[in-house]
Amino acid sequence: MSAPPDTLLQHYQAIADISSRMRALAQSQRWDELVELGTHYHQAVERLQKMAPLDDEQKAARRDLLARILDDDAHIRQLVAPELDRLSHLLGTIKRQRTVLETYYSTVRPR
């Protein structure tokens, strides 16, 4: 059985609230909490597929919520990108160090 349309709008509102909290966490660089809340966000979005469609008036309200969600998403991506770049650089450095150590130890070890 599908949920009534007002419940669907409430669900969109809940998703918008989650995205706002995620944005605040990204601005505060609280990455672990952001990732955890991101899981809840994805689960909430997946539940939308099982809900009834909206009428035209409700679609207008949904459009405003979607605009808010997309704005939050854009800001989160902008805030997370430097952290992802930093982690990528760090992983690259670790990989290079490991390769150097493996090369060094393979030439130092007696055979």
Better-scored residue on pLDDT, 93 or 109 = 93
pLDDT at 15: 95
> Which residue segments constitute the domains of the chain, with CATH numbers given?
5-80 (1.20.58.380)
Query: pLDDT by residue (tens digit) across 28-74?
Result: 999 999 999 999 999 999 988 888 788 888 888 899 999 999 999 99
pLDDT at 103: 83
Q: 62-70: long-range contacts at Cβ-Cβ below 8 A with a sequence spacing of 24 or more?
A: 62/8, 62/9, 62/12, 65/9, 65/12, 65/13, 65/15, 65/16, 66/12, 68/16, 68/19, 68/20, 69/12, 69/15, 69/16, 69/19
Sequence-distant (6+) residues with CB within 8 A of 32 are none
Better-scored residue on pLDDT, 6 or 35 = 35
CA quadruple 60, 64, 65, 71: dihedral positive or negative? positive
How many whole angstroms separate alpha carbon 1 and alpha carbon 78? Answer: 39
Question: Does the pLDDT value for residue 111 go beyond 70?
Answer: no
Sequence-distant (6+) residues with CB within 8 A of 82 are none
CB-CB contact of 20 with 35 (8 Å):
no
Question: Does the pLDDT value for residue 1 go beyond 50?
Answer: no
pTM of this structure: 0.67
Residues 7, 11, 12, 14, Cα dihedral to 10°? 140
Better-scored residue on pLDDT, 5 or 58 = 58
